[in-house]
Chains A and B, each alone.
Chain A
Amino acid sequence: MPDTSTGVVVIGGGSTGAGVLRDLALRGIDAILVEKGDLASGTTGRSHGLLHSGGRYCVNDEQAAIECVEEGRILRRIARSTVEDTGGYFVSVTEEDQAWEPRFAEGCRRTGITCERISVDEARRREPALSKHVRTVFWVPEDGHLDPFYLVVGNVESARRRGARVMTHTEVSGFLREGDRLTGVRIRDSKTREEGTIACQSVINATGAWAGLVARLFGVEVKVVPVKGTMVVLSRRLAHAAINRCHKPGDGDIVVPGLSVSILGTTSAKVPHPETLPIEWDEVRRMIEEGAMMLDGVTTARAMRAYAGVRPLYDLGAEAEGREMSRNFAVIDHQERDGIKGFTSIVGGKVTTFRLMAERVVDVAARYLGVSTPCTTAEVPLNDRDEPLDQLRHRPSVLGVPKPHDEEPPLQPLLCECELVRPQDVAPWFKDPAVHDLEDVRRRTRSGMGPCQAAICSYRLAARLVTDRGVDGPTATRAMADFLETRWRGVRHVFWGSQLRNMQVTTGLHMELYNVDRQLMLDPVAGTSPPPLAGEGRGGGLAQEPAEVAAQR
């Protein structure tokens, strides 16, 4: 891969990294974002997508709560296309919960969270699915749903429009330094293992749970504790608003309406490595049991998959573990701490506060670069489409149907039927060099995230790889199989009832009918590492935004 140079290299393509890139771009600083997977493929994409009002932290973690309040309001202003204003409820179901209530109400008052106590009847009128166990209800209008994929992609696209570059599926393998001065990073293509360098004046380590591992490449220590959280996805929205248990944050006490699905979250357990995230049956079961305490229909809705994300909690040295650890973040100035000029890390925090985190770390980096332009990310909207993220960006009513007596063209077929993804939603991404495989397409369009878990859309998308991207048949087949494989990883944890039968249909379709497994065995492509789909110009080079992408954003 060709060597290049820039002002700042941002490592990490999650919400923080994307926020940092946009912040840099808005201040006119040349920057490249390097991500070893895809955008939002790590922590951010595996969050439950709750835009915190702060209510969850207002008792135990006042600082985090205050940040949530402020950042939530800012995001509603600048990132309307990634936020759905659902509002939220804090419900108590046991006596223990009721003992927590006064502390919660007091916490909300102290931290400035809008919060109103309403009657259970009124709450049930608004949310018919509230369970019979619910005793008292607080309405917290500033809870919401933050779509993590749109958020990261939106930030990155906004930065790209201002000249920033993005290299996905690119790992940082080392650093270049001259004495105590950092002069660049060594990079490697995650798939082809091709190497290259980026010369730069400054590096921002925004890798969250991986921050310690990245810093270690440099020989410095950053203490990040990876804490795993498991979530279960149900196939439809059981409630319109986010439902929280009004108690000391614990396991399985949130149900988030994630567009067309409900997400039950979450557990909390320390793990040795940010990529070791096994999901236990016990966790899945506990999620569903606890969810059922708050909402009816949790046990009867179809559990579609389970996934685990890793929280990048920053170890401030205290003996705190998991939930007791603060959700605060810290900017680590390695020049001050370790004497390395041009290296900064940002650790801790949460998706809701990503913008603030980016602002703080870029403030530090900019000072070293001698740039005094102030941060404007809180004022400049993310994109030009100023519409709020609706229950569905492509609502059924928008799909349109011509009247039978008119001579109208036929309906365009849907690619993903569960999530109503149309060809025009997908087409621009096949032209984007940052998009490498079908998983990347999924994160940007929601293809394959519905009940059938890519059984139907996988082959349609694979066909698009051939027509729109010009890859050959065996490569497209491989991409389809990889896509199904990643879906399968989440589905196997919820293998009962409808989802089990659905997977029978999937395997029947792909293995018995299409012979995908046999095809891969016979194909020369199989066995070797899959070649990149992007073709030339992928990864490095000027990530010129295609006109289609610009038009869509």
Chain B
Amino acid sequence: MITEEFEPTTDTVEEEASVEACTKCTACNTVCPVARSTDIFRGPKALGPDMERFRSPQEAAVTPGLDLCSGCKLCEVTCPSQVSIQEYIRRAQNQGAREKGRSLRDWVLGRTRLLGKLGSMTAPLANFGNSNPLFRVLMERFVGIHRRRPLPKYQWLTFERWFRRHPRPVKPRRKVAYFYGCWVNYNDRRLGERAVAVLERNGIEVVVPRQQCCGIPAVVNSNMDLARRYGQENVRHLTPIVEEMDIVASSTSCGLMLKHDYGHLLEIPGSERLGAKTYDIMEYLWMLHEAGELDLNFETVPMRLLYHAPCHLKSHGIGYPAMRLLKLIPGVKLEEVDEGCCGISGTFGVKVEKYDLSMKIGSRLFAAVKAAGSDQVLADCETCRMQVEHGTGATSAHPLEILARAYGHG
């Protein structure tokens, strides 16, 4: 009889349908960077749990305003009832895109690795095009990428190729696999080099396994099927590796995908083990420090630095390991700019219809950075760094670069 398996007086409801757990407390709306910057966006509560009640499998899932969600996940971080607000929005976006079709731009933006491959193969040409005003006007007109948004520079030598020629250290104490992500591979090889240098300095051998794009660009461009394909590929490549070593990622968003979204959002079987062994690189280094294994022979770095915590780092739920680590370095004067989201949210702020909104979201951060005045603004996330540079004219860096510098890698 059903009676035996039925316990209405427990709290298990939320485990199966977390949408039911929403108590309308509205905490998510108060932290949503989009909702607080514009009154044309109903906020995560409305688009997540509220609308979820009206979405049935047979129905079209397109809700107006759905594509204005930038995907920062702050709502999920804040929710006292652990409602996966963001996941409901993502699923609906995805179903909506499946029903009404995807634009060429979103198709392209979802395929960062393909873009990176093309961009790095034709690096000088691509970089010229990406910075040529005439070309940008055409790009805005025909593709929908805002003309004022600076695009990342591509480099001809990829991190993968650089690493193949990189000599292995002798007698390492540990081994770690590095998930470098598309950014390091095609746009910022030097960050990867420094990551390797910092890890090796601490007696850790870096292994670079075969890997695919983490899938987050595909997720935010409403292509969860593509993201799942990428994810499955990564799970296939990385699962054997985690039996022997941990994985570190230098991009907060890539790390978050591996850690959390493969299991939850994309529901890729077997991804839990991978997620449990994945760390943000700064998180990993701090753990090393706590284990007493971090090399503390730092050179003095006399710099006044500002730290901006990326939204996706907050989603990791690990605090700000970068702040803690950098405070170990003599000479570093580090302050946090606690002014919320920078607004770019990956490819969100690149799109022509969202550029202004993205700059408006970031305006409080820009003002604070300008007022503070510093040598550099640090952020763990690559697009945050792009946005801060664009919005303030300041220079930016990954916190790891300061650490590398303290180890003597200028």
Chains A and B bind each other:
yes
Asked whether B8 lies within 8 Å of A303 as measured between CB atoms, the reply is yes
Provide the bound-state CA to CA distance between A490 and B101, in Å.
44
Q: Does A469 sit at the interface, judged by CB under 8 A?
A: no
> Per a CB cutoff under 8 Å, which of A301, A392, A400, A451 touches B54?
A392
The B197-244 residues at the A interface (CB cut-off 8 A) are none
> Per a CB cutoff under 8 Å, which of B9, B20, B25 touches A302?
B20
Asked whether A299 lies within 8 Å of B6 as measured between CB atoms, the reply is yes
Asked whether B11 lies within 8 Å of A497 as measured between CB atoms, the reply is yes
Contact with B along A279-297 (1 / 0, CB 8 A): 0000001001100110001
Contacts of A402 in B (CB 8 A): 40
Q: Does A418 sit at the interface, judged by CB under 8 A?
A: yes
For A257, the closest partner residue in chain B by CB is B56
Asked whether A399 lies within 8 Å of B64 as measured between CB atoms, the reply is yes
Closest Cβ–Cβ distance, residue B351 to chain A (whole Å): 10
Closest Cβ–Cβ distance, residue A50 to chain B (whole Å): 19
Contacts of A302 in B (CB 8 A): 13, 20
> Per a CB cutoff under 8 Å, which of B12, B63, B352 touches A397?
B63
Q: Which of A7-15, A74-82, A405-413 contacts B (4 or more CB under 8 A)?
A: A405-413
Provide the bound-state CA to CA distance between A277 and B357, in Å.
54
Q: Does B115 sit at the interface, judged by CB under 8 A?
A: no
Contacts of A496 in B (CB 8 A): 8-11
Q: How many A-B residue pairs have CB under 8 A?
A: 129
Q: Which of A162-170, A200-208, A235-243, A323-331 contacts B (4 or more CB under 8 A)?
A: A235-243
Asked whether B20 lies within 8 Å of A401 as measured between CB atoms, the reply is no
> Per a CB cutoff under 8 Å, which of A260, A285, A455 touches B53?
A260
The B72-101 residues at the A interface (CB cut-off 8 A) are 81
Asked whether A401 lies within 8 Å of B41 as measured between CB atoms, the reply is yes
Asked whether A451 lies within 8 Å of B57 as measured between CB atoms, the reply is no
Closest Cβ–Cβ distance, residue A295 to chain B (whole Å): 11
Provide the bound-state CA to CA distance between A206 and B256, in Å.
64
Asked whether A497 lies within 8 Å of B14 as measured between CB atoms, the reply is yes
Asked whether B10 lies within 8 Å of A452 as measured between CB atoms, the reply is no
The A462-512 residues at the B interface (CB cut-off 8 A) are 496-498, 501-502, 504-505
Asked whether B2 lies within 8 Å of A292 as measured between CB atoms, the reply is yes
Q: Does A456 sit at the interface, judged by CB under 8 A?
A: yes
Contacts of B23 in A (CB 8 A): 452, 498, 501-502, 504-505
Asked whether A401 lies within 8 Å of B40 as measured between CB atoms, the reply is yes
Asked whether A285 lies within 8 Å of B8 as measured between CB atoms, the reply is yes
Asked whether B65 lies within 8 Å of A401 as measured between CB atoms, the reply is yes
Provide the bound-state CA to CA distance between A452 and B49, in Å.
12
Provide the bound-state CA to CA distance between A297 and B20, in Å.
11
Q: Does A414 sit at the interface, judged by CB under 8 A?
A: yes
Contacts of B51 in A (CB 8 A): 396
Asked whether B64 lies within 8 Å of A451 as measured between CB atoms, the reply is no
> Per a CB cutoff under 8 Å, which of A289, A396, A404 touches B354?
A404
Q: Does B122 sit at the interface, judged by CB under 8 A?
A: no
Asked whether A289 lies within 8 Å of B59 as measured between CB atoms, the reply is no
Asked whether B2 lies within 8 Å of A405 as measured between CB atoms, the reply is no
Contacts of A456 in B (CB 8 A): 24, 26
With A498-B21, A505-B24 in contact, is A418–B40 under 8 Å at CB?
no
Asked whether A235 lies within 8 Å of B20 as measured between CB atoms, the reply is yes
Closest Cβ–Cβ distance, residue A96 to chain B (whole Å): 14
Interface of B is mostly: loop
Q: Does A417 sit at the interface, judged by CB under 8 A?
A: yes
Contacts of B14 in A (CB 8 A): 497-498
Asked whether A292 lies within 8 Å of B54 as measured between CB atoms, the reply is no
Q: Does B364 sit at the interface, judged by CB under 8 A?
A: no
Provide the bound-state CA to CA distance between A515 and B6, in Å.
38
Asked whether B40 lies within 8 Å of A410 as measured between CB atoms, the reply is yes
For A133, the closest partner residue in chain B by CB is B2
> Per a CB cutoff under 8 Å, which of B16, B24, B46, B60 touches A502?
B24
Q: Does A300 sit at the interface, judged by CB under 8 A?
A: yes
Provide the bound-state CA to CA distance between A505 and B64, in Å.
28
Q: Does A403 sit at the interface, judged by CB under 8 A?
A: yes
Q: Does A177 sit at the interface, judged by CB under 8 A?
A: no
Closest Cβ–Cβ distance, residue B83 to chain A (whole Å): 10
With A297-B17, A391-B54, A411-B42 in contact, is A455–B24 under 8 Å at CB?
yes
Provide the bound-state CA to CA distance between A236 and B12, in Å.
17
Contacts of B10 in A (CB 8 A): 496-497
Q: Does B62 sit at the interface, judged by CB under 8 A?
A: yes
For B355, the closest partner residue in chain A by CB is A405
With A240-B58, A451-B24 in contact, is A417–B8 under 8 Å at CB?
no
Closest Cβ–Cβ distance, residue B116 to chain A (whole Å): 28
Provide the bound-state CA to CA distance between A456 and B66, in Å.
23
Contacts of B16 in A (CB 8 A): 300
Asked whether A236 lies within 8 Å of B53 as measured between CB atoms, the reply is yes
Closest Cβ–Cβ distance, residue B336 to chain A (whole Å): 29
Closest Cβ–Cβ distance, residue A170 to chain B (whole Å): 36
Contacts of A374 in B (CB 8 A): none
21 contacts between A and B (CB under 8 A): A288-B8, A292-B6, A300-B12, A303-B8, A396-B63, A397-B63, A402-B40, A404-B40, A404-B356, A405-B356, A410-B39, A414-B42, A417-B46, A456-B24, A456-B26, A496-B10, A497-B10, A497-B14, A498-B14, A502-B23, A505-B24
Chain B residues within 8 Å of A, Cβ to Cβ = 2-3, 6-14, 16-17, 20-26, 38-42, 45-46, 50-54, 56-60, 62-65, 68, 81, 352-354, 356-357
Q: A402-B40, A418-B50, A497-B13 are in contact. List 17 more A-B contacts (CB 8 A).
A: A235-B20, A237-B56, A240-B58, A289-B3, A289-B6, A300-B13, A392-B54, A397-B63, A397-B64, A399-B64, A404-B40, A404-B354, A405-B353, A418-B24, A451-B53, A452-B24, A456-B26
